[in-house]
Amino acid sequence: MRLFVLFVVAFVDMVGLTMIMPLLPFYTRELGGSMTTVGVLIAVFSLAQLIAAPVWGKFSDRVGRRPAILAGLLVTAVAYLLFAFAGSLWLLLLSRIVQGAGGGTIGVVQAYVADASAVSRRTKSLGWLSAVTSLGAVAGPAFGSLLIGIGGRSAPGLAAAGLAVLVAGFAWRFLSESRLFTTTGGAYPHQSGAEAVVHVVTRWREPASRLVLIYAIAIGAFYGTGQTAPLLLAQRFGTTERTVGYFIMYLGGMGVLVRSLLLGPIVDRLGEARLSRLGIVLLGAGLAATGLAHGYPLLGVGFTLMPLGTAFLFPCVTGLLSRVVAAPQRGLYMGVQHTFGGVSRVVFPLAAGAAMDRFGVGVPFWVAGLLVLLTLPLTEAMASYLEAEPAGATPEREIASADITAEMPVAQPPG
């Protein structure tokens, strides 16, 4: 039951996030900002998230996953209220900073799933987490565009704040703690967030470091650059703030279909290592196609390959990471993964906004696609990571496969 409750929390939280996300570029332009300003506002969210993620992760390792998740939801609700009433670029900037601080708990959510899943089913459980958040991304953008027409500019922010408070209450009532505070793996010394970050940089050849770097570049390319997609759609396809939500809804819908119908069987057939490589190729090709698209056929190819790539890549990389770090450090390293992802999501939108102003709206997408493809050498010997799980990395509370299956909608669900 714990995973089901967490998935409900993640779904509703994503609905709130994606209700306002596609509207940000339009609001920024209305307040006098340039495309570069859009990139800045996208980047500060990631900057705040990258600072907060290791703190939340360490907090959850010490105090518990549940308190961290609840606190993050309440911080996010405040951010949505600021967004609803932002009448200046500075207030819009503040709302993005607060939202990023609250969103730093994403690593905690993933650590919760790892805690509550048997090792053999961890990637699939993480895939289901991705699936329910993608489902939220289907409903959110369209709902936000609909609310604009009904209640005006402040309606999406107010609705998102209400959802965040509602789901926090739901989690407080029904979400139990996943972390048992036992001492395991004495060979793994206590690390601070800063020490873990330095470890990834200085020991980049190690399995955990490679996985973090692959994740960081890929997520920056997709989410960092992808959030400027409304500017490309507006210029080349005449999209407005009333219609942009439906394009983003398609991306989310593809993610849901792949994660719920294809991912599990393909993981069983190919394994996490090969599927990660396939995800890299598909994501890189999808980004490039989107950047080159001047008509709907090529845009459709790009918008189809991108969610395919992310659905294959991110759950596999995160699942592998949860297996190659010790259990007492799982929350910390999940947070560090998102710290590096946050750095790339600062760099990519800043570069994308500036490149759009100077070179054109398509350039950031095909450049980002090339950078994703350049991570393929980091996947060398990735299959050996499956045997690299350290002593002490076993979940504190190993759940029998039958228990996990009972929490899922279908048998052998995709991950």
Q: What would the DSSP string read from start to end of 367-400?
A: HHHHHHHTTGGGGTTGGGGGG-PPTT-S-TTPPP
Query: What confidence score (pLDDT) does residue 373 get?
Result: 93
Report d(CA 344, CA 257) in Å as an integer. Answer: 27
Helix, strand or coil, per DSSP, at residue 209: helix
Query: What confidence score (pLDDT) does residue 97 get?
Result: 92
Structure tokens, 55:
């703190």
Structure tokens, 314:
């991110």
Query: What confidence score (pLDDT) does residue 55 get?
Result: 83
Report d(CA 99, CA 164) in Å as an integer. Answer: 11
Residue 396's φ and ψ, nearest 5 degrees, are -60, -30
**What separation in angstroms does the CA of 215 have from each of 26, 299, 364?**
29, 24, 19
Instruction: For the chain, list residues with pLDDT below 70.
Output: 1, 119-120, 178-193, 327-328, 381, 383-415
Q: Where does 225-295 have alpha helices with state H?
A: 225-226, 229-237, 244-257, 263-292
Structure tokens, 223:
């989410």
Q: How many of the other CB atoms lie within 10 Å of CB of 3?
A: 22
Query: What confidence score (pLDDT) does residue 1 get?
Result: 65
Residue that the structure tokens 């048992």 belong to: 180
What is the 3-class SS of 331-360, one letter each residue?
HHHHHHHHHHHHHHHHHHHHHHHHHHHHHC
Q: pLDDT digits over 79-128, tens only?
A: 999 998 988 899 999 999 998 888 877 778 877 887 777 766 777 777 77
Query: What confidence score (pLDDT) does residue 95 get?
Result: 92
Angle at 319 between CA 7 and CA 277, to 5 degrees: 120
Report d(CA 153, CA 289) in Å as an integer. Answer: 32
Q: How many residues does the chain have?
A: 415
Cβ within 8 Å of residue 158, ≥6 positions away: 80, 81, 84, 151
Query: What confidence score (pLDDT) does residue 191 get?
Result: 60
**What separation in angstroms does the CA of 371 have from each of 47, 99, 273, 276, 368?**
21, 28, 19, 15, 5
Query: What confidence score (pLDDT) does residue 404 get?
Result: 27
Handedness of CA 145, 146, 149, 151 (dihedral sign): negative
**What separation in angstroms does the CA of 357 have from each of 128, 366, 367, 385?**
38, 16, 15, 42
Handedness of CA 401, 402, 403, 408 (dihedral sign): positive
Phi/psi-derived region of residue 326, left when phi > 0, alpha when psi is between -120 and 50, beta in every other case: beta
Cβ-contact 330, 322 below 8 angstroms: yes
Q: pLDDT digits over 211-254, tens only?
A: 889 999 998 888 878 778 888 888 888 888 778 777 877 887 78
